[in-house]
A and B are shown apart, each in its own frame.
Chain A
Amino acid sequence: MYAFDYTRPTSVADAVATLASDSDATVLAGGMTLIPTLKQRLAQPSQLVDLGALPGLAGIRREGDTLIIGAMTRHADVARSEIVAAALPALAALADGIGDAQVRHRGTIGGSIVNHDPAADYPSAVLGLGATVVTDRRQIAADDFFTGLFATALEEGEIVTEVRFPLPKRAAYVKFPNPASRYAVVGVFVAETGSGVRVAVTGAGPGVFRAGNFEAALTASFTPKAVEGLVWSADDLNSDMHASAGYRAHLIGVLAKRAVATIA
């Protein structure tokens, strides 16, 4: 780890100002990705701006048909929240399946979606539910937020403050964990939302994406049978020592069907 300065601002405005004044400063949330990166000397920030003391950034609330989760909310808190369990159980289950207990007690939803690891779980829920990402300066629709491998629409120095999930009629997430890391080899989030059926896939490609043919089939009939035999092309999928593109493509079909089966 290289030396760096450390600040712990107490207002979002201060945090944003610090980031604006120093282009080499980096936001620290749960540190589950950032700290190992620093330890391996793969990054050399001038200072870490710890979001841990910002008021109002951690917390879960429901406003009508919207579930709002603060960016600094830990996975474990989402997993055991009564509000989430009642409003959006698929999200609680997703959070409960992230990494291990230590990771769940440190990692945050903000850190997870900003990092946009292609194997992370949360991005599939954000995209699959058509959530809105709220930052210090604007609101970004899920369809615009994830722009590619480890990339998002955030500007330099922009801070995610919360994620707003419109509550779906029904939703489910099924994950095929990498046996070693327990990240998703493939994860499929299926939801019937106010604006139609959405199917978001994580783990399989260079970033989270929507599976249009599955959405169309489920729009026609929201049953496991509707997606049986449906194929997602392996062409743009990841291939690594854990799973070939063909196997990932196959898993998308299996997991989508299983997700639907739990809520059909």
Chain B
Amino acid sequence: MSVTSIGTSVKRREDKRFLTGKGNYTDDMNRPNQTHAYILRSPHAYAKIAALDVSAAKAAPGVVAIFTGDDMKVGSIPCGWQVHSKDGSPMKEPPHPPLAQGFVRHVGDQVAVIIAETYSEAKDAAELIEIDYHPLPAIADAKKALEPGAPPVWPDVAPDNLCFDWHIGDKAATDAAFEKAKWVAKLDLINNRLIPNAMEPRAAIGDYDVSNDLHTLYTTSQNPHVIRLLMGAFVLGIPESRLRVVAPDVGGGFGSKIFHYAEEAIVTWAAKQIERPVKWTAERSESFMTDAHGRDHHSHAELAMDDQGRFLGLRVATIANMGAYLSTFAPAVPTYLSGTLLAGVYTTPAIYGEVKAVFTHTVPVDAYRGAGRPETTFLLERLVDVAAEVSGIDRVELRRRNFIPPDAYPYQTPVALQYDSGDHAGCLDRALEKSDWAGFPARKAESAARGKLRGIGLSTYLEACGIAPSAVVGSLGARAALYEVGSVRVHPTGSVTVFTGTHSHGQGHETTFAQVVSDQLGIPIESIEIVHGDTDKVPFGMGTYGSRSLAVGGSAIVKAVDKIVAKGKRIAAHLLEAAEADIVFADGKFTVAGTDRSKAFGEIALAAYVPHNYPIETEEPGLEETAFYDPKNFTFPGGSHICEVEIDPDTGVTQVVRFTAVDDVGRVINPMIVEGQVQGGIVQGIGQALLENCVYSEDAQLLTGSFMDYCMPRADDVPFITVDHHTTLCTHNPLGVKGCGEVGAIGCPPAVINAVVDALKPYGVSHIDMPATPEKVWQAIQAARPAAAAE
């Protein structure tokens, strides 16, 4: 009897503790004799700290210690990815001190840490710190930051604010393609800046064991081993053996909890100075001004077509905002995570992309759900709609003509990647059917009868997940490897603990991974425990981001289980007095092929731990294996998203009324979890397309610093979302999985904006930037009918 649950919607095992309030988040933890830290932050976007006096604050009630940049002279927070400019020069890499060294460079930059018996006392004392700031001119807009005379963020390191000027593809071939073009579609667009807003704010506790010189950091991280490496090796100089990093339950990350943040180093360092635990939890307003933001690209794109509408060449120039410091993965986002996907699902033979990365006096910008792929997808899928306009070819037909055909796989793109599998026409057909594309005119007429403008839009996308072959990313500038680690410990009675280097902060790994192991070992899910998030328990790992957990982390677990099965066969062969080659393992039993003689998995486990009758000459006792899995390629999920909107022409209010997603995420282990991931991503995509926008003033004050002004999508902003699949398997990992965590946020925004533009077609609108707020939409309508507006 098989126990496999693969492909079934097993209920999430972790939800019992989450839904009953029994989760264990960093802020839930308290260490004996703990102190509380408040971080004093800059109110200025750019200023010189001329004087800083903490003496009165130090004498305030309850204060244990106050540290400034003068006290905390440690290493710089490192950037994990080095990009080189066109001319071969490395990117400009300014220092990133945990506490300001004489200058502050964005609103929210850390100036001092006040440690007291209570958080209130720390905050009270902070008001007694006297700081003489000399404010300097500041800039938030990346495009303007490149103009001559713009205020420099780093006068010594990058006086022109340019971090790097990178390119990919073949410029000459692309220019030549444009020479032959019958039509050229052109588009300027902005990918709006977003604030991640995980439900759980960041938090960190530093704990120092004096007698053993051991540091522990509890932190809200998606990748505790990466934090241990970055902070231990580069910032604080603590060897791995003396530094434990624990990321317990984490309430959402969306990328923002990948990065190594100053506060982690501050509490770890301070705990040693005062020999007491130090706890810090962000207030929501601190999250707005210190969590790394996402997106913020300005692009110009051009697509050349022949007389049949076949894409000949694509040219893209992007300006990407890096913020004031280089966050952990920031340089990779607009380059290797964006530019390498410019082919999309199309056979465009010649592509050239350029990216100027720019410093501004804003919070660092880094990976946020989709990281580079939403930016490229939005650009491409908007541009293809413009191309349909320009050529007069129907937008569905135009896409079909240019799809990479299934028989062209593996497909080498002109921008480095080699796609392994996909069926874009298959996804599109299914999406057209599921969304009743053909029935749209009737729905449009019905909306019109109610005075509403209805539009329909689609996107056909492909993205890269499962980052990634270590040698490949190494050659592209990654300063770390990107394999994953799985360790499987079989206990004497046959129950199993699995240690994974990935981290679950909402994705349901404790369920999905257990389903995979249960299937492989033929034992019930209840016998399997998944452990993550503690560098003292898990051998190593690179963490969770880029939808890599199952494709890379799951593959490592599969490899480790393979080793368990192999050893089990050798033990079984001994016990059953058969040749190893004759032992087959299926449904939790080791059987001599062609006989009914068998040993259950649990019996083999017991024999391994009580080796009385055991091949002791050749086998060590025990049953525990570890595998490091280095992926052979990225994985390439894709799909078709179709959105319908209804616009109120009098107010410009846009409502998403239908949404259909047909994705190819490879094999689906747990359909319910995949549906949840896809829906969540689509809701974030709708948020980006219609609601969310991080706004800085000209002089770099954060204007959207709370939920009063920064609009998160809510239930009533979102329709019922139809989620479906059209699957091709990944060809190079053992599970055939691709990744589903980001597809929603990637495929959705262009489908929404294409629908908005479609609805506004009668007004001659050809593009609208995100978010398509009511006023923006209304203004677009007014621009088309100035007479009506003046009435």
Contact = CB atoms under 8 A, between A and B. Distances in A.
B791 A243 contact: no
A217 to B, nearest CB: 15
B775 A180 contact: no
Contact of A244 (B285, B775, B791): B775
B117 to A, nearest CB: 15
Contacts of B412: none
Contacts of A64: none
B124 to A, nearest CB: 8
Interface size class of A (residues with CB under 8 A): 10 to 19
B780 interface: no
A81 B695 CA distance: 41
Given A1-B120, A176-B651, A179-B691, A250 B778 contact: yes
Nearest to A241: B695
Interface of A: 1-2, 40-41, 176, 179-181, 183, 229, 241-244, 247, 250-251, 254
A254 B710 contact: no
B582 interface: no
Nearest to A1: B120
Nearest to B695: A241
Given A241-B695, A247-B778, A250-B778, 17 more contacts: A2-B124, A40-B285, A41-B123, A176-B774, A179-B717, A179-B774, A180-B709, A180-B710, A180-B711, A180-B712, A229-B791, A241-B703, A241-B709, A242-B709, A242-B775, A243-B775, A254-B651
B628 to A, nearest CB: 46
Interface size class of B (residues with CB under 8 A): 20 to 34
Contacts of B775: 242-244, 247
Interface in B761-788: 773-775, 778-779
Given A244-B775, A247-B775, A181 B709 contact: yes
A1 B124 CA distance: 9
B627 to A, nearest CB: 47
Q: Closest 9 CB pairs between A and B?
A: A180-B711, A181-B708, A179-B711, A247-B775, A254-B650, A241-B695, A243-B775, A229-B791, A180-B709
Nearest to B693: A241
Nearest to B697: A241
B502 interface: no
B421 interface: no
A181 B710 CA distance: 8
Nearest to B127: A41
B704 interface: yes
Nearest to A229: B791
A176 B124 CA distance: 40
A40 B691 CA distance: 26
> Interface centre among B709, B773, B775, by most A CB within 10 Å?
B775
A183 B779 CA distance: 22
A80 to B, nearest CB: 19
B234 interface: no
B791 A180 contact: no
B190 to A, nearest CB: 15
B707 interface: yes
B713 to A, nearest CB: 9
27 contacts: A1-B120, A40-B285, A41-B123, A176-B774, A179-B691, A179-B711, A179-B717, A179-B774, A180-B691, A180-B707, A180-B708, A180-B709, A180-B710, A181-B707, A181-B708, A181-B709, A183-B708, A241-B703, A242-B709, A242-B773, A242-B775, A244-B775, A247-B775, A250-B778, A251-B651, A254-B650, A254-B651
Contacts of A176: 651, 774
Nearest to B703: A241
B694 to A, nearest CB: 11
Nearest to A257: B650
B331 to A, nearest CB: 30
Contacts of B774: 176, 179
Contacts of B779: 247
Task: Report whether over half of chain B's contact residues are helix, strand or loop; otherwise say mixed.
Answer: loop
A85 to B, nearest CB: 23
> Interface centre among A179, A181, A229, A243, by most B CB within 10 Å?
A179
A181 B706 CA distance: 9
A38 to B, nearest CB: 12
A244 B778 CA distance: 11
A250 B782 CA distance: 11
B704 A241 contact: yes
Contacts of A181: 707-709
A41 B651 CA distance: 37
Contacts of A247: 775, 778-779
A250 B709 CA distance: 21
Contacts of B708: 180-181, 183
A255 to B, nearest CB: 9
A81 B711 CA distance: 31
A4 B778 CA distance: 48
A242 B773 CA distance: 8
Contacts of B711: 179-180
Contacts of B717: 179
Contacts of B285: 40
Contacts of A243: 775
Contacts of B120: 1
B688 to A, nearest CB: 13
A231 B77 CA distance: 56
B705 to A, nearest CB: 11
Contacts of A41: 123
Contacts of A254: 650-651
Interface in B712-729: 712, 717
Contacts of B695: 241
Contacts of A40: 285
Nearest to B711: A180
A254 B773 CA distance: 17
A242 to B, nearest CB: 7
Contacts of A241: 695, 703-704, 709
Interface string B244-285: 000000000000000000000000000000000000000001
B687 to A, nearest CB: 10
Interface in B732-791: 773-775, 778-779, 791
A103 to B, nearest CB: 12
A12 B264 CA distance: 51
A244 B710 CA distance: 17
A247 to B, nearest CB: 5
Interface in B156-196: none
A134 to B, nearest CB: 31
A183 B120 CA distance: 31
A243 B775 CA distance: 6
A102 B707 CA distance: 15
A242 B653 CA distance: 13
Contacts of A250: 778
B458 to A, nearest CB: 25
Contacts of B773: 179, 242
A40 B779 CA distance: 36
A176 B711 CA distance: 15
B753 to A, nearest CB: 17
Nearest to B653: A176
A2 B778 CA distance: 45
Contacts of A180: 691, 707-712
B622 to A, nearest CB: 54
A241 B698 CA distance: 13
A244 B709 CA distance: 15
A247 B708 CA distance: 20
> Interface centre among A180, A243, A244, by most B CB within 10 Å?
A180
Nearest to B712: A180
Contacts of B712: 180
Nearest to A247: B775
Interface in B638-655: 650-651
